Amino acid sequence: MNERSDEPAYSDDQLVGVNVGGTTTSVALGTPEGTVLERIAWPTQARDGEALFAAIVAALEEIAPRAAAVGVAVGGPMDARTGTVIGPPHLSGLHGFPLASRLRERIAVPVAVHHDAAACALAEYRWGADRGVSGLAYLTCGTGFGAGIVIDGRARYGSRGASSELGHVRYRADGPDVFGKPGSFESYGAASVLPKLARRRDPSFDAANGAEVAARAARGDAVARAAIDDNADAVGAACALLADLLVLDVIVLGSLATYLGEPWIARVRATFASEALPERVASCTLRAVSLANLQDLSGLAAALDAQSERGER
């Protein structure tokens, strides 16, 4: 564990948020108002679920001995009803892992486990620039491509608590093979697929990650620029699908919006405007994340959900 702030004073109304990412896992202590007080982070043991779980428990015991609730944000697919992680492609060690029940065996406070995109959507709904809107979605646009949906203040899932997997939906007839389905939204809309999109246009294109593609596009590389446009068009089409189906007020764009900036967002908006119903275009705002520490706050939002659900029972 390699990141730790000074010791704060503990309080019984504080919350703890856990964010399990493909590369980094973090545990943050914070308040119901969305202030992070303390944080621990370490590299994710993505292929060893038991080691990852043990590290999370150790961090919880260290950082939050008197917290009121614990929330976890983790990649899907998952069953949010039981808090079971089913098969996240970037966290192979957690396949079939009953995360919520295992945590409840170790800690004596309410626990909620949310799909990471849904937890980010909850955080933006509660503490972001458009807090309190009726309908909000968050698109991860990062290592993977997922959507979290909040309607009337609650994260929405399918029947039996199943997470929505927008990334698996067919976008085009062909494309990079991601999530076991060439041409899916994930195979076009994730940041991690930018090198693959570039190589579809030029097999000799050599880039290790999306950041390298972005850097080459900034220097005027036409293939890199075209790959980024292909990506933005897919994200815009996904936004149109969500807005037409769910009549959303706000769609928040994740990682790519942060490091590609306004030119990419403008392309997403243009495709959205060409694909969605005119009334949806007029009533739905597309924007980048407004919370600088969204990953930490996503876990806290899940913890606040756990606390609220305990109060309703």
Strands 97-98 and 36-43: unpaired
Q: Which residue has the higher pLDDT, 275 or 107?
A: 275
At residue 244, what are phi and psi to the nearest 5 degrees?
-65, -40
Q: Which residue has the higher pLDDT, 171 or 308?
A: 171
Nearest to 299 by CA among 91, 113, 45: 113
Q: How confident is the model at residue 289 (pLDDT cuts 50, 70, 90)?
A: very high
Question: What residue ranges do the domains of the chain occupy?
Answer: 15-116+293-312, 129-288
Kindly tell me if the per-residue pLDDT of 313 is higher than 80.
no
CATH number among 3.30.420.40, 2.40.70.10, 2.60.40.1220, 3.90.1150.10, domain 129-288: 3.30.420.40
Query: Tell me, which fold does domain 15-116+293-312 have in CATH?
Result: Nucleotidyltransferase; domain 5 (3.30.420)
In this prediction, residues 164-171 reach a mean pLDDT of 92
How many Å apart are CA 84 and CA 20, to the nearest integer? 14
- Percentage of the chain lying above the pLDDT 90 cut: 81
How many Å apart are CA 110 and CA 69, to the nearest integer? 5
Burial 97-110 (b: 16+ CB within 10 A, else e): bbbbebbeeebebb
Kindly tell me if the per-residue pLDDT of 160 is higher than 60.
yes
In this prediction, residues 282-309 reach a mean pLDDT of 93
- With a CB cutoff of 8 Å and minimum separation 6, the contacts of 99 are 53, 72, 74, 83, 84, 85, 113
How many Å apart are CA 213 and CA 286, to the nearest integer? 24
- Residue 53's pLDDT is 97
| Contact in structure between 78 and 96 (CB atoms under 8 Å) | no
Domain 15-116+293-312 shares a fold with domain 129-288? yes
Residues 222-248: tens digit of each pLDDT: 999 999 999 999 999 999 999 999 999
Nearest to 113 by CA among 145, 76, 165: 76
| Contact in structure between 234 and 185 (CB atoms under 8 Å) | yes
